[in-house]
Amino acid sequence: MLLLEPFGATDAGKVRRNNEDALLVGEGRDETLFAVADGIGGFEAGEEASRIAIEVLNELEPGSPFQEAVREANRRILAAGRGDERLSGMGTTVVAVRFGGTTERPVAEVAHVGDSRAYLLRGGSLRPVTEDHSLVAELVRSGDLTRAQAADHPQKNLITRALGAEEEVEVDTAVLPVEAGDRILLCSDGLTDMVSEDGISEILAESAGDPEGAARRLLSAALDAGGTDNVTVVVVDVKEHVAPPGEERSGTRELPTVAPPRGAPGGAPPGQTSGQSSVRTPTRARKGEARGVSAPPAVATRRKRRPRRLGALGKFVRGLAAVLVVVVALTPVYLWGGSRYFFGFEDGEVVAYRGLPYAPLGVELNEEWRRTGVEESDVKGPYRDPIDDHKLYTREQAERVLGDLGN
Ligand code: MN
């Protein structure tokens, strides 16, 4: 039987004051479930989108369909965006892993949308488990860019799939057999944009057996490299479970004990302003709770026992997360292909397009959406420049423009 030892940490970074990333470190109904979400959208919208995604996963019952939960998160984000103008156009990436399978064949199920990633470290080598849904990743797949070129590409943050973008979202999933000694890393692009895969691999190898040390060092490395984006990492170690004599019989799940990490959430990496970082181990003990799983679980979780009681600190972590929701005026807004709209003039007529108004390396990122029948000369003054500049709109905004465009 295997046992999981996870540790998660997040930090707003050195440039942005708000943290739009969110994470789940086994504190949901399914304690073998871990996730990272990276919110997209100005003001508080990004935080809201990633929060909703994590909330939905948090509620996922053990054994229920994974992809469906991600689709449900998509629907809830869209619904929240429709209900509130300030949240319209918000979205989030998500990468999640859930452990299960049988005692003979334990597996990790991975689901993702966007450019938050999962990696597997096994035998000292780091393998990507996910493929980014991003413009540069498409260009790598088509052979137009190398992986190294993609890492430095100015449009590397342009993602082509996100939760909250479309009615239906395509979720990529993978099932990996796992074994003792494996380490799974989930992270937002705030890590991978700042630290090379070689650098990540080195840190993971040097901190073998210590998920907390690994998570903290990865976070520090991203911050030391500039920390221009929010950084989130979740490290999950898969270990052999050695039951002390008489502790339990085979086939029973080890009941998790939960304790806060050493130091407070503000126990940030060296050089880091206290109060900006938060670390997360699961915040709820579930001792004695009956589980609705018929097959004996192959994987149990264990968190480090620490002297301090968990309740108070758990609340503190949540309190801190709330404090981190700070409005900043200049939040970078990411774009994703299918969900953006713009206008242009074609043979004197205004045409609406879906996608993005450029074609890097010859790859068209847009398609004609509507022909408006409105002549260039009939366009109302305030709309001329935005059409010339290919200003981007959400679908709702584009519909509004369509209805109001002509004289
Ligand atoms: Mn990010």
- State the distance from the centre of ligand 1 to the C-alpha of 229, rounded, in angstroms: 6
Centroid of ligand 1 to alpha carbon of 264 (angstroms)? 24
What distance in angstroms lies between residue 239's CA and the mean position of ligand 1's atoms?
30
User: Has residue 35 got a pLDDT over 60?
Assistant: yes
Report pLDDT for 393: 77
Mean pLDDT along residues 118-129 = 96
Res. 345: pLDDT tops 80: yes
Compute, in angstroms, the gap from residue 372 CA to the centroid of ligand 1.
Answer: 36
| Residues near ligand 1 ion, CB 5 Å cutoff | 38, 188-190, 229
CA atoms lying within 13 Å on the CB side of residue 236: 34
Distance CA 253, CA 259 (A): 18
Q: What is the mean pLDDT of residues 190-194?
A: 95
User: Could you tell me the residue ranges of all domains in the chain?
Assistant: 2-287, 307-407
Q: Is the pTM of this model over 0.85?
A: no
Number of Cβ within a 10 Å radius of residue 279: 27
DSSP secondary structure code for residue 73 in this structure: H
DSSP code of 393?
B
Cβ contacts of 372 within 8 Å, gap of 6 or more: 343, 349, 350, 351, 352, 402, 405, 406
Across residues 11-31, what is the average pLDDT? 94
User: Separation of 188 CA from ligand 1 center, angstroms?
Assistant: 6
As given in the structure block, the two tokens for residue 283 are 């915040």
Least confident of 35-49, 176-190, 334-348, 362-376: 334-348
Q: Are 53 and 41 in contact (CB under 8 A)?
A: no
Measure the CA–CA gap between 266 and 230, rounded to whole angstroms.
Answer: 16
What is the 341 CA–ligand 1 centroid distance (Å)?
23
Tokens of 43: 């003001």
More confident residue, 202 or 304: 202
Q: Which residue has the higher pLDDT, 153 or 168?
A: 168
pLDDT one-digit tens code per residue, 54-96: 999 999 999 999 999 999 999 999 999 888 888 887 899 999 9
CA of 189 to the centre of ligand 1 (A): 5
94-108, 169-183, 348-362: least confident range: 348-362
Kindly give the distance from the C-alpha atom of residue 292 to the centroid of ligand 1, in angstroms, as a whole number.
36
Name the percent of the chain lying above pLDDT 90.
46
CA of 37 to the centre of ligand 1 (A): 9
Does pLDDT of 246 surpass 70?
no
- pLDDT for 87: 87
pLDDT score, position 254: 44
Mean pLDDT over 211-222 rounds to: 97
What secondary structure letter does DSSP report for 332?
-
CATH 3.60.40.10 for domain 2-287:
yes
pLDDT at 145: 81
Q: What is the pLDDT of residue 299?
A: 57
- Residue 232 tokens read as 């989130």
